[in-house]
Amino acid sequence: MYTHHKFDHEFPEGTEPRCLYWICSTPRSGSSLLCELLCNSGLSGAPTEYFDREQMEGFARAWGTSGFAEYRAALLAKKTSPNGVFGAKIHWGQVLDVFADQDLGEALPGARYVWITRRDRVRQAISWDKAMQTGQWASDHAASGQRPVFDFDRIDAAFREIERGDAAWEQYFSERGIIPLRVVYEDLVSHRDRMVRSVLAFLDIELPAGFELRPPTLRRQANLRSTLWARRFRRLRRRHGESERHGGQTRPGPHGPSE
């Protein structure tokens, strides 16, 4: 089970970080899968959402830190792998929440940027909505038992939030002259070993002889319901004259709780 990014895991302290990197993402983009694979490599730290408010508060309590500077120092000390690599994942919404007045480059000077996106934003939005309904954000999380129901407006809101997040990341990189390594979820799923090796190469991490990538413990959560919802959502958008990238302001009426 992928636990090395949680409270029960710390690397031995005393390693000075020589390589810092961000996994830049929007929710349900495949970022957790990428982070698990990188963590399981044993060569690239233990990236996760260290700058999510709830996680920050939990780690701060566990480590007895006060304020951002102390938290950051403890984070680098405890989550830098023995080869000197530290990584963190951050969604665009967390940038706005935690770093509204600070550049990410100030928090992690000299960091490199890996940007993961998903080609199929409809499926991404559906995954996000289902997770919010059921409380099951990963395959190893216990579900609330609530049966998810289709709601066009809710999925459409998630879709548009993903669009805004991807556009904001693109603008962020452009304004700062940053060229991130692009990772696409669908390619990561199809060519897992090749894509992870490309990230490790981007970070200038030397692979030991005989290196083999460990398989992930996280399992794909999409199912037939996801496929049916995606077809229904696209059909409703077409019916109301909307495309997946550009649309008007019209919305269909309530669709009830049916799937």
pLDDT in tens, 168-205: 999 999 999 999 999 999 999 999 999 999 999 999 99
pLDDT at 164 over 80: yes
pLDDT of residue 226: 83
Which pLDDT band, with edges at 50, 70 and 90, does 1 fall under? very low
Classify residue 108: in a domain, yes or no. Answer: yes
**Cβ contacts of 58 within 8 Å, gap of 6 or more:** 7
Classify residue 103: in a domain, yes or no. Answer: yes
Please, what is the Cα angle at 212 between 210 and 214, to 5 degrees? 155
Classify residue 115: in a domain, yes or no. Answer: yes
- Is the Cβ–Cβ distance between 205 and 85 less than 8 Å? yes
Could you report the per-residue pLDDT of 66-101, keeping only the tens digit for each? 999 999 999 999 999 999 999 999 999 999 999 987
pLDDT of residue 254: 36
Classify residue 8: in a domain, yes or no. Answer: no
Which residues are paired to 25 by β-bridges? Answer: 91
Which domain covers residue 45, as residue numbers?
19-208+216-239
Tokens of 224: 């037939």
Q: d(Cα 144, Cα 51) in Å, to the nearest integer? A: 25
For residues 149-172, give the mean pLDDT: 96
77-116 exposure pattern, b = at least 16 Cβ within 10 A, e = fewer: bbbbbebebbbbbbbbebbeebeeeeebeebbeebbbbbb
CA atoms within 13 A of residue 63's CA, in its CB half-sphere: 26
Domain of residue 162, CATH code: 3.40.50.300
pLDDT of residue 235: 93
Classify residue 249: in a domain, yes or no. Answer: no
Which pLDDT band, with edges at 50, 70 and 90, does 2 fall under? very low
pLDDT of residue 146: 74
Classify residue 168: in a domain, yes or no. Answer: yes
Tell which residue, 77, 36, 81, has the closest CA to residue 199: 36
pLDDT > 70 fraction of the chain, expressed in percent and rounded: 83
Classify residue 251: in a domain, yes or no. Answer: no
Classify residue 116: in a domain, yes or no. Answer: yes
| Mean pLDDT, the chain, integer | 86
- Is the Cβ–Cβ distance between 19 and 204 less than 8 Å? yes
- Is the Cβ–Cβ distance between 228 and 259 less than 8 Å? yes
Residue whose entry in the numeric block shows the structure tokens 């970022």: 31
- Number of domains composing the chain: 1
pLDDT of residue 147: 83
pLDDT at 257 over 70: no
Please, what is the Cα angle at 196 between 168 and 137, to 5 degrees? 60
Could you report the per-residue pLDDT of 198-249, keeping only the tens digit for each? 999 999 999 999 999 888 876 665 577 788 999 999 999 888 765 545 444 4
Which residues are paired to 91 by β-bridges? Answer: 25
